Structure 1
Amino acid sequence: MTPELLAPAGTVPAFEAALAAGADAVYLGAPACNARALARDFSFAEIGAMIAMAHERGRKVYLAMNSLVKEQELPAAVTTLARLAALRADGLIVQDLGLLALAHRHFPELPLHASTLMAAHNSPAVACLAGLGCRRVVLARELSLAEIGLVARQAARLGVAIEVFIHGAMCFSYSGLCRFSSLHGGRSSLRGQCVQPCRRRYQWLASGQGKKGDRGSRGGAGRGRERPPQEGGYLFSMNDLSAVDQVDALARAGVASLKIEGRLKSVAYVAHTVRAYRLALDARAEPDERRRAGMLSEARAALAAAMGRRSGSGFFLPGAAQSARLISPEQSGNTGTPVATLLDLKPLRSGNRKLVRVLARLQAPLRSGDRLRLHEERSDARIAFTLREFRAAGRSSAAAGAGATVEMLVEDAALLALRPPFHGKLYRVDVSGRKERPSPELAQLVARFSAEDERLRRLAQARAQALMPPQAERPPAVFRPAKAAARAQWWLRVATLTALRERLPFAVSRVLLDLNAGNLELALSGQLRRLLRGPKLSFALPPLMQEASLESWRANLARLQAAGYTSFQLGHPGQVQLFAQPGKLELFGDASFNLLNHQALAAAAGLGFKGLQFSLESDRETLHAALAARATHLCAVGLLVYGRPALFTARAQSPHFQGRYALQSHRGERYALKSGEDGVSLFAKEPLSLLAHGRRLLTSGLDYLVVDLSCGHPKQEAQLVTALWSGKGELPPHLAGNYNGLLA
C-alpha cells in the first residue's frame, strides 16, 4: 500500500501549490490554536473553501489544533472545534489532553490525530493514545526505521495509523519535552511560540561547571572554577531532515502517512518538496529500473531547488543518534542560500534617513529586490531586509556576481544597534508566493463560505456554549486561598537515598525516588525499606523509554510489584500500558504530561492517576483558574516549586558533545550538558524556584508541592532550597519561569 503524502500550507497559495504538486492531503493551522506562530491565521471561510476544493479533487485536509490550551482559552477552543466539525475537516491534529478528550466526547465526526508534540516514541504511547480516541499517531522524529516498523506493527493491531515526518526542520529536543524557550523567555514551543534557542551560538567552558553531581544524580550545574570560554558553535542546530531515499523503506515498515514539515515555508518550497516526494512514491510502482532511477534523480533535484539548511536522513538509519551528520556545529542553521560574507557595518546619514552601509563579499549573484537575512554571529542578531540599493566597483548597480565586494545601503534601526567587531553572513530568503492570490476557483469558494460565515459562527457558538457554559470564560482573576485546613503536602524527588540526609525547612510526606539500576537493586534486596522510614515512597520513571528497552522495564516493574512496591510516578501517560493491573496501583503523573487546564487534568485522571503535576510552564493566572474549575474528587494536583528541569531532552549524541559538559550563550547565560545512555539533557545554571510563593501555594488548592533535588549536588541543592524558602537577605540567583508573568 502506498502511503499518503501529507503537505503543509501556511497560506492559500501554498495550499493550491501542494495540490498541484501531487499531495494526497494538506494540513493547515486552526485559528489561534496551532503550534506555529503564523503571520496571519486562516479565516474559517478560507478553511471551508480549501476543504471543499480538496474534497472535489479526492484529497483531504487536516487541521492542526496542536497547541497546549490554557484554562482561559477552553471556551474559544471548543467553539473552534464546532466550526471545524461543521466544515467537515478530515482530521484534527491535537496535543492537549483536555482538548483531545473534549473532541472525542463531543465531536465524534472529527477523526483525531495525536501530534508529535505528545512525544509518542514507543508502542505503549501509541496504545494509550488509541485508547483516548486517536485514529492516527504522529511519531517522534527520533525513531529509527527499525523502531518505526516495530511500533507500526503494534499500531496496526489496534487499528491506528502511523504518520512520520519525512522532510523539513528538526528540533534538537524531543517535541513535547523542550522547555528552553518557555522557561528562558516566556514563549512556549508547546504553544507555537518557540524562539529557537537551539539555533543560537554557544561556547564551551573549560571548567568544572555543569559537571555531574554525586553518583546517581541526573545532571545539574555545579560550581567549579570558571576559565574563559573555549571554541563553540551552533551546538544544537540540527540539520534538516530529507529522507527521499527512505520512502520505500518507510512504506514497507507500515507507515500510513509521510509528512512534510513547513507551514511557515514559501510556496516554492511546498511545490518543490511535494513534487519530489510524489516522484519518489510513484517510483515505487515503476517496473523499469532506469525510469525509476531517473524519477528519484529528478526528486533529488527538486529538493535541491528548495532553499533550506544542510540536510540528512535524520534518525532513520542505524547509529544515526551518534552520527556527525545530525548537526553541523560550524553552520548557523539559517535557512536560505548563503550569498555573502559580512565585512563591515557603518552608520551613514543621508538627509533625514539613518542608513547603514553593509560591506560584504559575494559568494553568489545578488540582485536589487532580493530579500536578505543578515546574521551577525558575535551578537547572534538576525535581521531581514529587502535590498533596495547597492554599489559594486564604486557604481550603483542592480546586479553583481560572485566574488564582487559590494556596499549595500540599508535603512534598519536594528542594524544601527549592532557594535563592532562584526562577523557573519548574509542569506537570500525565499519569499515566493507572498504576493500571490488564490485562483479564481478558490476565490469563489471563499466568497461562498464568507456569505455563510455569520450563520455558521452562531451555530457553532450555540453548540459550544451547550458544552461549556459562558461562566467558564470568567476564571478567577486573583488568587483565592482555599480553606486553611486544605494545606498542601511537601514531596521530595531524589536520585539517591543519600540526598535524604540533607536538612530541609519542611517535613516531607512522600519521596519520589528515581528508578535507576542502583535503586532497583536496593529495593529488591530489601535494603530500601530499612533505609527509608517515615515518608511514603513512589518510584519515579523517566519520560523516555526506547522500544528495545520495554521488556526490561516491564520485567523490573513486575519484580518491584512482587516485592510489594505499588506506587509509581510516570513520565509519560503511555507508561500506564507497562502495568498488567494499573487499577491496583498508586500512579502519579510528572510535569512532563504538560497539563495546562482542568479538562486535561480530568482526562489524565481518567487513565487511573491518583495525582498529577500541573505544567511547570504555567503562569499564576492559568494555574489558579484551572484549580478553581477542576473537580477535586478526581485526583490530587501538584506543582514543581524547586528543581532543575531539563531544558532540552534529546536523543542526538553528536561527536562534538564528547567530553564536554559546560557551555554559555552569547549573553553569558550558563548551562550544563549531561550525556546518558539514551541521549543528552541540558540544564540551566540557575534552578527553577517558586519557593518565594510557597506559603501562598500551600493554601492555593494544590494538594502537593514538589521539591526536586535529583539534579546537582544534594547538599548544595538543599542549602539553596533553605535560602530561597527563608526569603531573607539577598536570594540566590534563580528562575521563576512564567509564574509571575504571562505564558505566551
Structure 2
Amino acid sequence: MSGMTPDTPARPEILAPAGDTPSFLAALAAGADAVYVGLKHFSARMEAENFGIGELTRLTELAHEEGRRVYVAMNTLIKPGETGAAWRLAARLARRVEPDGLIIQDPGLIDIARQAGFTGALALSTLANVTHPLALEEARRLGASRVILPRELSIDEIRAMGAACPEGLDLELFVQGALCYCVSGRCYWSSYMGGKSGLRGRCVQPCRRVYSELARQGGRPQGKDAPRRKGAPHGRQGEGRPPQGRAPLAKAGGKAGRFFSCRDLELGPLVKTLLDVPHLASWKIEGRKKGPHYVYHTVTAYRLLRDHPGDPAARKTAQDILELALGRPGVKARFLPQSPEEAASPDKQTSSGFLAGKIRITPEGGCELKPHLELLPGDYLRVGVEDERWHATLPVTRRVPKAGTLRLRLAKHATPKAGTPVYLIDRREPELQRLLGEWRKRLDALKEPPAQDTAPPAGGPRLPKPVKPRPRPDMLLTSGLGRGKEEGNRAAGSTPGRRAVPALWLSPRTAELSRTLVGRTAWWLPPVVWPEEEAALSRMIDRLWRQGARHFVCNSPWQRAFFPQRLPEDADLLAGPFCNIANAAALAVLAGQGFAAAFVSPELSRDDALALPAQSPLPLGAVVSGFWPVGISRFGQAALKPNEPFMSPKGEVFWTRRYGGTLWIYPAWPLDLSGQRREMQDAGYSFFARMEETPPQGLPELRREGLFNWNGALL
C-alpha cells in the first residue's frame, strides 16, 4: 500500500475478496496479488464467515511465501466502549498475523492502530467517504496510506482524483461486485429500521425489497403546518412532530418494483482506461460473502484484462469468464459520463447467481427443478430471491444433467409457488476443487501458531482527557433562505430560554444570503461532495469566509481541507452528524484537526450516547429532531418521482427529494429525540440541532416513534 513512486510497478494489483478459507485459497490459486479479509469483529461484512486470528496467521504466512499481500478490514464504526477491544485486536494483528495493511472506516482507528504497534499501511474504506480531490490531502495528513474510491465516480472523476493524489498515498477502485444504491457511509436505512447498521457490517439490505407507489387518499394537508407549496425546500415542522393535516394512511397502489436494488458493478474490458491513472494502485473485486468459484473466476478475468489490455482474444475470454462468475447482472453505472446506466433495474432480475430454472409442483405436491444447465455435486442453489424471507439455500448432492430432474427437499414453511426462480449461487467444478485441494495441503503443512501467543495483549489506547461541558447555541437547520433576518429571529426563539443560531445547508442559492447575516449563520456542508462539485463549493466557502462567516459544520472529517490550515481564533468549525463519530479516539482526531466541537452519530443507542460526553475531548452536540435521511444516493431514480410517497412490504412509507447531485431518501416519520433532551444535557451534551424539511403534500400520517436506536441497540 505504499504510495506510487517511479519504482512502483505500472500495473495495478488485483485485490481479491475472501470471506472464508476456500475463497482465500481460490484467490491465491487464481493469481491474485492481494487478498482482503475480515475478522469475527469490526468487519463491515459481518454476515460473511470471516476469520479467527490463528487461521488468518497461517493463511497470511502462505500468502507471503507466494509474494502476495493480505489486508484486514476493521472497517466499522466503533462505539464508545469498544476502543480498548479495537486496540487489543490491532495489537494481536500486528504481533501475530503481520498483515500488509488495515482497511478502516473510523478515523479513530488511525491513532488506535499506531498506538497498538501496527506499522503496516492504513487504507480508508469507502465507508469513510473520501469523495473529492481536496479530501485526499486531508486523508494523507491524518496518516492514511491509501484511499478506496467511491463506486459512483466516472472515469473522468477517477482521473481527477489520481491527478490530485498527493505523494505517499495510493488509490484503490472497485472494478467488480455489488453496488449499494446509497453512497457508502451515507446509508442509515437498515439502522433506522431496527439497529442493524451498515456502518457496523449488519445491513439487512432494505434496498433489495419490493416497494410500491401509494394510492392517494384524502385531500391535501391543511392547517398552519401544511407545506407552503409542493416541493418547498424547507419549512417549519415543530420539534420533529408530523405536520397537522396529513392525509390518512394510504395503501400501496400504482407501480411496484425493486426500485433501489442495484445490479453488480462490472467494468470488464473498460478497465483498460484505468491503466494510466496516476496513483491507482489496486483494482478491487467485491464479494466477501461469495464462494471460491466467484473469487477464482473474477480474479482470472481481471488478470487477463490487466496483463493483455490490447488483445481482443483475451478480452473476449475474460468477458466469457465473468459471465460464469455467478454474480448479479452487470452494469457500468456512472463510469462512462457520456452514457451513464441506471444502477437499479426495477423491472429486471437483480438477484445474485445464475438462473438455473423455475420450480415445478408435482401432482403429489412436491417441488422439482429441470435445470437449464448441468448441476454438479457440491453446487449450491438458492430458491427464491434474497430479500424474500422464506428463500432457501441447499446443496446439490448428485450430478443432474441439463433438463434432468432434481427433487428439492424444502421446509414446509418455505414451500415455493410454481414458477419460483432457482439460482445457482456457487459451483464445485472438479478442476477448481483439485486446485483448492493442493493449496489446502500447503496450508495444512504450516505450523500452528505457538499456544502462548494466543492470549490477548493487556492495555488499551491512550485517550485525551475529556472536557467539561460548555453550553453552545442550538441550531435550526433549514434547506433554503426563507425570509432572511426573520428566519434567524424565528430560530433564535425556537427553544425557550436558550439562544439559537440559524443554520443553512450551503448551496449556490443559500450562499447569496445578505452579508449582514452571513457571519451569524452556521453553514452546513453537504454530506457528500463529488469531484465535479468541489471547485464551486470551495469558491462559495472562500467568499463567505471573506464576508465574515466563521461558523461551519463539516459533514466529513476530510472537508476540513476547505479551510485554512492555520485557523484564526474566531473560527468555529464543527464536525457534523454525518461524520459518524461515536468514540473518544475519533473525537481526538477531530480535535487535532482544529474542530471546536462535534455532533455525535445519531445511530447511537441511549447507553452509548449518554456514555460518550464523559470521554470526549470536545464539546458534543446531537440532532434531536427533524427528517433524518435513511440514505443519500448519487444514482437516478426514473421509476419513482421525487416528493411522491412509496411503501415497503411492511407498510413503511418513504419519500425522496433531490438536492444538487444527490437524491435523499426520507422516512415518513421524523426523528424525534426532543423528549430525551434533558437526559442528554445532564449527561454532558452542550448543544442540539433541529433539521427542518417540508414533507410532500399528501404524505400519510404514521404514528410511529422517531427514536432511531435510542431504546434499542446499535448491533
TM-score band (shorter)? 0.7 to 0.9
Equivalent runs, 1:347-426 vs 2, <5 Å:
357-358=366-367, 371-375=380-384, 380-386=388-394, 399=400, 401-402=402-403, 408=407, 410-412=409-411, 414-415=413-414, 424-426=420-422
Q: Could you say if the C-alpha distance between residues 163 and 711 of structure 1 is closer, same or farther in structure 2, counting changes exceeding 3 Å?
A: farther
Give the letter for the 2:255 counterpart. Answer: E
Number of the residue aligned with 1:521: 512
1:573 aligns with 2:557: yes
Tell me, in whole angstroms, the C-alpha distance in 1 between the residues paired with 2:694 and 2:576. 16
Superposed CA RMSD in Å reads 3.5
Q: Could you say if the C-alpha distance between residues 345 and 576 of structure 1 is closer, same or farther in structure 2, counting changes exceeding 3 Å?
A: farther
Q: Could you say if the C-alpha distance between residues 343 and 662 of structure 1 is closer, same or farther in structure 2, counting changes exceeding 3 Å?
A: farther
- What are the Cα deviations for residues 489-521 of structure 1, in whole angstroms up to 9, with x where unaligned? 543212233566488463442222222233221
- What are the Cα deviations for residues 468-492 of structure 1, in whole angstroms up to 9, with x where unaligned? 69xx9xx9xxxxxx99x97775432
1:261 aligns with 2:261: no
Query: What's the TM-score, normalizing by structure 1?
Result: 0.83
Tell me, in whole angstroms, the C-alpha distance in 1 between the residues paired with 2:543 and 2:138. 23
Q: Could you say if the C-alpha distance between residues 638 and 16 of structure 1 is closer, same or farther in structure 2, counting changes exceeding 3 Å?
A: same
Number of the residue aligned with 1:392: none
Number of the residue aligned with 1:682: 665
The structural deviation recorded for 1:135 is 0.9
8 Å Cα contact 2:15/2:282 also seen in 1? yes
Tell me, in whole angstroms, the C-alpha distance in 1 between the residues paired with 2:452 and 2:236. 56
Number of the residue aligned with 1:238: 262
Q: Out of 163-172 and 30-39, give the one that drifted further.
A: 30-39
Give the letter for the 1:456 counterpart. Answer: D
8 Å Cα contact 1:7/1:18 also seen in 2? yes
- Structure 1 spans left out of the alignment, 5+ residues: 349-355, 390-396, 476-481, 721-730
Number of the residue aligned with 2:442: 441
Tell me, in whole angstroms, the C-alpha distance in 2 between the residues paired with 1:49 and 1:218. 59
What SS is found at the alignment partner of 2:182? coil
Equivalent runs, 1:235-384 vs 2, <5 Å:
235-254=259-278, 255-284=280-309, 292-319=311-338, 321=340, 323-324=341-342, 326-342=343-359, 357-358=366-367, 371-375=380-384, 380-384=388-392
Tell me, in whole angstroms, the C-alpha distance in 1 between the residues paired with 2:230 and 2:555. 22
What SS is found at the alignment partner of 1:699? helix
The structural deviation recorded for 1:160 is 0.8
1:102 aligns with 2:112: yes
What SS is found at the alignment partner of 2:175? strand
The structural deviation recorded for 1:384 is 1.4
The structural deviation recorded for 1:537 is 2.7
The structural deviation recorded for 1:581 is 4.9
The structural deviation recorded for 1:267 is 0.5
- What are the Cα deviations for residues 376-401 of structure 1, in whole angstroms up to 9, with x where unaligned? 79x93351132789xxxxxxx98475
Q: Could you say if the C-alpha distance between residues 487 and 611 of structure 1 is closer, same or farther in structure 2, counting changes exceeding 3 Å?
A: closer
Number of the residue aligned with 2:5: none
Tell me, in whole angstroms, the C-alpha distance in 2 between the residues paired with 1:152 and 1:178. 26
Equivalent runs, 1:618-637 vs 2, <5 Å:
618-631=604-617, 635-637=618-620
- What are the Cα deviations for residues 1-30 of structure 1, in whole angstroms up to 9, with x where unaligned? 111111111122211211121111111113
What SS is found at the alignment partner of 1:10? coil
8 Å Cα contact 1:204/1:232 also seen in 2? yes
8 Å Cα contact 2:211/2:257 also seen in 1? yes
1:124 aligns with 2:134: yes
Q: Out of 546-555 and 226-235, give the one that drifted further.
A: 226-235
Tell me, in whole angstroms, the C-alpha distance in 2 between the residues paired with 1:548 and 1:368. 51
Which of the residues 104, 108, 111 maps onto 2:121? Answer: 111
Which of the residues 646, 654, 671 maps onto 2:629? Answer: 646
Number of the residue aligned with 1:58: 67
Number of the residue aligned with 2:4: none
- What are the Cα deviations for residues 44-66 of structure 1, in whole angstroms up to 9, with x where unaligned? 12211122112211111111111
Tell me, in whole angstroms, the C-alpha distance in 2 between the residues paired with 1:388 and 1:558. 63
Give the letter for the 1:122 counterpart. Answer: H
Tell me, in whole angstroms, the C-alpha distance in 1 between the residues paired with 2:295 and 2:671. 41
8 Å Cα contact 2:260/2:346 also seen in 1? yes
- What are the Cα deviations for residues 323-378 of structure 1, in whole angstroms up to 9, with x where unaligned? 33x222123422112233356699x9xxxxxxx7347776556688753323279x
What SS is found at the alignment partner of 1:706? strand
Tell me, in whole angstroms, the C-alpha distance in 2 between the residues paired with 1:89 and 1:699. 44
Which of the residues 25, 28, 40 maps onto 2:34? Answer: 25
The structural deviation recorded for 1:296 is 1.3
8 Å Cα contact 1:213/1:219 also seen in 2? no
1:177 aligns with 2:196: no
Tell me, in whole angstroms, the C-alpha distance in 2 between the residues paired with 1:123 and 1:305. 36
8 Å Cα contact 1:94/1:113 also seen in 2? yes
Q: Out of 196-205 and 496-505, give the one that drifted further.
A: 496-505
Tell me, in whole angstroms, the C-alpha distance in 2 between the residues paired with 1:65 and 1:434. 30
Give identity over the alignment, percent.
30
The structural deviation recorded for 1:617 is 0.8
Number of the residue aligned with 2:501: 510
Tell me, in whole angstroms, the C-alpha distance in 1 between the residues paired with 2:360 and 2:26. 39
Q: Could you say if the C-alpha distance between residues 216 and 39 of structure 1 is closer, same or farther in structure 2, counting changes exceeding 3 Å?
A: closer
Give the letter for the 2:331 counterpart. Answer: G
Tell me, in whole angstroms, the C-alpha distance in 2 between the residues paired with 1:659 and 1:69. 34
The structural deviation recorded for 1:172 is 0.7
What SS is found at the alignment partner of 1:63? strand
Tell me, in whole angstroms, the C-alpha distance in 2 between the residues paired with 1:46 and 1:441. 14
Equivalent runs, 1:515-594 vs 2, <5 Å:
515-524=506-515, 526=516, 528=517, 537-581=521-565, 583-584=567-568, 585-594=571-580
Number of the residue aligned with 2:161: 151
The structural deviation recorded for 1:625 is 2.6
Tell me, in whole angstroms, the C-alpha distance in 2 between the residues paired with 1:359 and 1:410. 9
Tell me, in whole angstroms, the C-alpha distance in 2 between the residues paired with 1:581 and 1:666. 49
Q: Could you say if the C-alpha distance between residues 699 and 14 of structure 1 is closer, same or farther in structure 2, counting changes exceeding 3 Å?
A: same
Number of the residue aligned with 2:424: 428
What SS is found at the alignment partner of 2:14? strand
Equivalent runs, 1:134-149 vs 2, <5 Å:
134-149=144-159
Give the letter for the 1:386 counterpart. Answer: L
Report how many residues are paired: 673
Give the letter for the 2:609 counterpart. Answer: L
What SS is found at the alignment partner of 1:329? coil
Which of the residues 229, 241, 255 maps onto 2:253? Answer: 229
Equivalent runs, 1:76-91 vs 2, <5 Å:
76-86=85-95, 87-91=97-101
The structural deviation recorded for 1:609 is 0.9
1:670 aligns with 2:666: no
Number of the residue aligned with 1:352: none
Q: Could you say if the C-alpha distance between residues 733 and 310 of structure 1 is closer, same or farther in structure 2, counting changes exceeding 3 Å?
A: same
8 Å Cα contact 2:87/2:460 also seen in 1? no
What SS is found at the alignment partner of 1:31? coil
Q: Out of 424-433 and 118-127, give the one that drifted further.
A: 424-433
Number of the residue aligned with 2:6: none
